[in-house]
Amino acid sequence: MAVVVVIGVSGQVVCRRRESFILAIGSVLLALLIGASSMARAQAGGDVRAVLGKHGLLGIWSYNCGQRPTYTNRYSVYRPLDERRVQRDEMVSPTQRIGVGVVESAVDVGPHDVEITATRKSDKGVEYRDVLTLHFESNRRRTMEHSENGKKQIAAGRYLKTRENGTLGGKPVDWVYKCE
């Protein structure tokens, strides 16, 4: 059996055998990994309300705020649920919602960009998980990246040619404007 003597910072003998040394190193590495993982989760989850509020992204958004919500002029409503969470509604009339969800995380990814992760449920009961990167300037924002249930739908501000995007494939994503 090999003997390894490890002396700690305080000058005390920490372990004397090779097996003890390997266990000690393994424990330290595991503690570091758990700590880093927890820190990453805390940063990623963050305080959604604070991140979206800081950039003025809470409220009602639409292509044309002067017109009522319709299927072609949806209103996206981001409203606080509590001190941390934000609800996202997709409205096609003042009283008809076609999707509702909760923004689970919001992270600054640039001075004018936020990545949000949200779950939503359509009016037909279908559940989705969205990851979006929103670019914002003053009172307008634009989706630059979007993955729906892991499938990329928008890249570099353009709709990809997918079945879900239909005739929008290849076209740029339009800006939406803050209505309030």
pTM greater than 0.95 (yes/no): no
Res 40: pLDDT = 41
Residues facing residue 143 across a β-bridge = 134
Res 110: pLDDT = 95
- How far is residue 75's CA from residue 115's CA, in Å, rounded to a whole number? 20
- How far is residue 57's CA from residue 142's CA, in Å, rounded to a whole number? 11
Return the domain boundaries, the chain: 3-45, 48-178
Q: pLDDT of 119-145, one tens digit each?
A: 999 888 999 999 999 999 999 999 999
Ranges of residues in the chain whose predicted pLDDT is under 70: 1-46
Res 128: pLDDT = 95
Taking alpha carbons only, the member of 77, 144, 76, 69 closest to residue 113 is 144
Task: Map residue 82 onto helix, strand or coil.
Answer: coil
CB 56 within 8 A of CB 178: yes
